[in-house]
Amino acid sequence: MNKKLIIYIVIGLIILALIIAIILINKQNTNRNELETNQNYSNKENIKSNENIQKNISSNHSIEDVYITTETNSAKTDNATETSIQEQVKEEIKKENIDMIKIKVNSNVLEVKLEDNEATRSLVEKLKNGDISVNANEYGGFEKVGNLGFSLPRNDESITTSAGDIVLYQGNQISLFYNSNSWSYTKLGKVQNVSGAELKNILGSGNVTLILSID
């Protein structure tokens, strides 16, 4: 074989080997770059995912805080409303719980402290519709007694009256005592801050008109 031909063949093989080596090196570099790119992308996605998770956690905390705050404010509002209603009910009960009435007689006004019983509660309900006028007669030298014009609940018991006592007699008559007597009555109340002698003088010796009112 010609020596020149052999030299050319060897040179050609060397060049081919170099080309193949260059191709392999470029391929490795390309693969390495793709791997680094994929890793960077994956890292970026992980960071983004973590950021989203943190945002969701923060958002959930905010929503929970808002819910708790709203719930707390709602509870406070409900409590305030309930307290207000209770106060209104107490005020209404206080207004309805009338334990004093007045009796006008001979240009005098007597204040009467009521007993707490069915008779007085019924009497107050009647008085809410207006004053009640009773023509009271002198009786026995110890009382003025007259017909109410209606009946009240009775809870009669044997008692000894004293000056200023007001009682229900037989369910439909009211008696105002300026002296003492023992009988079966339902006690209604007692005149305040007036002695027996003063009351006797106010009532006088004859029949009188008693005007009952709540104001």
Sign of CA dihedral 48, 53, 58, 60: positive
Query: Does residue 177 sit in the same domain as residue 82?
Result: no
Last residue of a domain, one of 72, 97, 122: 97
The first and second tokens of residue 109, run together, are: 């006004």
Q: Are 210 and 138 in contact (CB under 8 A)?
A: no
Mean pLDDT of the 95-113 span = 91
Query: Does residue 117 sit in the same domain as residue 165?
Result: yes
Query: Does residue 91 sit in the same domain as residue 112?
Result: no
Query: Does residue 90 sit in the same domain as residue 39?
Result: yes
Name the 3-class secondary structure at 148: coil
Of the pLDDT bands very low, low, confident and very high (cuts 50, 70, 90), residue 96 is: low
Domain coverage including residue 72: 1-97
Q: Round the average pLDDT of the chain to a whole number and report it.
A: 82
Query: Does residue 25 sit in the same domain as residue 43?
Result: yes
Provide the pairing of β-strand 132-139 with 143-147.
Answer: antiparallel
Note the pLDDT of residue 150: 97
Sign of CA dihedral 155, 156, 161, 163: positive
Note the pLDDT of residue 69: 58
Last residue of a domain, one of 37, 70, 97: 97
pLDDT in tens, 117-133: 999 999 999 999 999 99
Global pTM? 0.57
Last residue of a domain, one of 97, 131, 153: 97
Query: Does residue 105 sit in the same domain as residue 209?
Result: yes
Q: What is the CATH number of the domain that holds 182?
A: 2.40.100.20
Q: Any alpha helices (H) in 97-170, and if so which ranges?
A: 118-127
Query: Does residue 113 sit in the same domain as residue 204?
Result: yes
- Of the candidate ranges 45-49, 144-148, 169-173, the one whose mean pLDDT is the lowest: 45-49
Query: Does residue 93 sit in the same domain as residue 104?
Result: no
Query: Does residue 91 sit in the same domain as residue 108?
Result: no
Query: Does residue 92 sit in the same domain as residue 127?
Result: no
Structurally, the chain folds into a number of domains equal to 2
pLDDT in tens, 33-72: 666 666 665 556 655 665 665 665 555 555 455 455 556 6
- How far is the C-alpha of 85 from the C-alpha of 202, rounded, in Å? 46
Contacts of residue 180, defined as CB under 8 A and 6 or more positions apart, other chains included, come to 142, 160, 161, 162, 163
Is it the case that residue 164 has pLDDT exceeding 80? yes
Name the 3-class secondary structure at 53: helix
Is it the case that residue 1 has pLDDT exceeding 70? no
- Of the candidate ranges 38-47, 85-94, 166-175, 185-194, the one whose mean pLDDT is the lowest: 85-94
Q: Higher pLDDT residue, 110 or 11? A: 110
Is it the case that residue 90 has pLDDT exceeding 50? no
Query: Does residue 126 sit in the same domain as residue 184?
Result: yes
Mean pLDDT of the 21-27 span = 79
Q: Higher pLDDT residue, 23 or 153? A: 153
Q: Dihedral of the CA atoms 52, 58, 61, 62 (nearest 10)? A: -110
Note the pLDDT of residue 208: 97
Of the pLDDT bands very low, low, confident and very high (cuts 50, 70, 90), residue 24 is: confident
Query: Does residue 209 sit in the same domain as residue 104?
Result: yes
Of the pLDDT bands very low, low, confident and very high (cuts 50, 70, 90), residue 16 is: confident
